[in-house]
Amino acid sequence: MNDEINELPPKICEQCLGDDTNVRMTKIPQGSECKICTLPFTLYHFKASKRSGHIVKTLICGRCATQRNVCQCCMLDLRWHIPVQLRDHLISMVNEENVITEEAKNDMMKRFLSLKDVKLGGAQITSDSAEADIILDKLKSILQKATSDSESSQLQIQGAAESDKNKQDKDTEKYRSVDVSHILKKIPLSESFTSDVSSRSFFLYNIDASIPEWKIADSISQLLNIKKWSDGNSLSLIINHKAKCGGVRFQSSMLGEQFARKVQETITTRKGLERGVLRIDRSRIFVIPWTSGFSAASFGATTAENIKLSLSLNKLMGLELGSDDKQFRAKSLDNIKKNKQNTSKKVQKAKSKKSKPRANNLTL
């Protein structure tokens, strides 16, 4: 099995070869099994620099590398130095057709595929410099479009919100029997966020499921000017994405006070309560001090409770913010509220009863 492709020079990108002008390479014919097609191939290994302790090996055979237009060592695209999936995704976005590098599942098929002389997926484009340049040109125009009309993307989100609304309606039906009043009771919804509040813990809500915890942690630690890793546990964060809310607890009440002072933006609800606002990406997270503290159980013990809690909080937000808010979220929530009024007046009444006394307490 000494075929010619194995005798061709290896396809290795410059990043793998390192900055040295001389690279001393070792060649071992039939030295290894290709990770993609499982056939033996001529293995090359080398050190990127004389001092480095790492031996870089070719992991896939030259044939598989040519088919995918990737480096044999790092398996990144030879032209753009990006992973294959990302490249295919990019190209399919630009050309508006589905480009995927299909990989065979069973061993026989893997070998068969590797012996064919084809270019797979995005390799057809990136292996040809002219085509790749065309793609880059198209990319440019797409990006310009994206930056110039950001409204269109907002429209998209609005569309998403519409479909969310339908789902939410379904969820309310589904989880109507779930009772979360005992959880809501413990959440400090009647508290007001002021800059001189002294509390170690804060309740966060209106957290979209797409916001990862680390983003919230980052923005809080940035606000307080602390580094997350070096200080270990100066803040602990629990986000329940199903319940769309969470809590943050600081190590000391000092930090809590600092946090309350640093949160500049606040909004006033219809009931005259203040809510701190944390801006992350496009969304706003509302903050309320939580003097009694919290645990993971504060957001519901089961998934059903979590989801129900998120629905109730959504409804509450609709009530709090009213229609004067320009954010689409509030708008869509308002719509839901109207729908609710038509469909289930009883639930609506029960809810408003629950929230009203609390508000009254506050005004007193």
Partner 1 sequence: MTPIRSVDQLIGSGMDSWKDKFAKVQVRESELPSSIPAQTGLTFNIWYSKWSQGLGGNTRFVSPFALQPQPHSGKTRGDNDGELFFCLFFAKGMCCLGSKCRYLHHIPDEDDVSKLSLRTEVLDCFGREKFADYRDDMGGVGSFRKKNKTLYVGGIDGALNSKQLKPTQIESRVRFVFSRLGDIDRIRYVEDKSCAFVKFKHQASAEFAKEAMSNQTLLLHSDKEWDDRKEGTGLLVKWANEDPDPAAKKRLLEEQKLESLNMMVRLLNKSNNNSTDTTPSKEAKKSPVKKISIGLPPGVSVSNSKKRSLPIDNGMGGDDFIESLKKLKKGATNVDDFPTKSSASLSNGPLIDYLSSDED
Site for partner 1 in 126-185 (CB under 8 A): 129, 136, 139-140, 142-143, 146
For partner 1, give the closer residue by CB, 14 or 173: 14
Nearer to partner 1, 141 or 264 (CB): 141
| CB hemisphere CA count around 94 (13 angstroms) | 21
Amino acid at 248: V
> Which two tokens mark 64?
């598989």
Q: Does 308 bind partner 1 (CB under 8 A)?
A: no
DSSP class of 233:
S
Cα gap 275→263, rounded to integer Å:
10
Q: Tell me the closest approach of the beta carbon of residue 16 to partner 1, in angstroms.
A: 8
Residue 303 within binding range of partner 1, rule CB under 8 A? yes
CA distance 61 to 182: 62
- Residue 265 in contact with partner 1, rule: CB under 8 A: no
Give me the sign of the Cα torsion angle 227, 228, 231, 237.
Answer: positive
The one among 149, 179, 231, 265 contacting partner 1 by CB under 8 A: 231
Q: Figure out which of the listed residues 253, 295, 352, 360 binds partner 1, where binding follows CB under 8 A.
A: 295
Q: Should residue 209 be labelled a site residue for partner 1 when binding is judged by CB under 8 A? A: yes
Any residues with CB less than 8 A from the CB of 323 and at least 6 apart, and which? 330, 331, 334
The distance of closest approach from Cβ of residue 9 to partner 1 in the complex, given in angstroms and rounded to an integer, is 5
3-class SS of residue 73? coil
Any contact of residue 254 with partner 1 (CB under 8 A)? Answer: yes
CA distance 325 to 67: 54
Position among 109, 115, 301, 350 found at the interface with partner 1 (CB under 8 A):
301
Considering only 131, 149, 179, 213, the residue that binds partner 1 (CB under 8 A) is: 213
Under the binding rule (CB under 8 A), the answer on residue 36 touching partner 1 is yes
SS3 57: strand
Site for partner 1 in 57-86 (CB under 8 A): 59, 66, 73-76, 78-80, 82-86
* 93 near partner 1, judged by CB under 8 A: yes
- Helix, strand, or coil (residue 87): helix
Sole window of 25-33, 182-190, 314-322, 345-353 interacting with partner 1 (rule: CB under 8 A): 25-33
- What residues pair up with 280 in beta bridges, in sequence order? 283
Q: What is the C-alpha separation between 219 and 225, in angstroms, rounded?
A: 10
| Residue 253 engages partner 1 in binding (rule: CB under 8 A) | no
For partner 1, give the closer residue by CB, 85 or 198: 85
Strands 201-205 and 245-250: antiparallel
With contacts defined by CB under 8 A, name the span among 194-202, 289-297, 329-337, 354-362 that binds partner 1.
Answer: 289-297
User: Which of the 8 DSSP states describes residue 278?
Assistant: E
User: For the residues of 129-172, what is the DSSP string, one character each?
Assistant: HHHHHHHHHHHHHHHHHHHHTHHHHHHHHHHHHHHHHHHHHHHH
Interface with partner 1 (CB under 8 A), residue from 234, 291, 335, 339: 234
Number of shown-chain residues binding partner 1 (CB under 8 A):
83
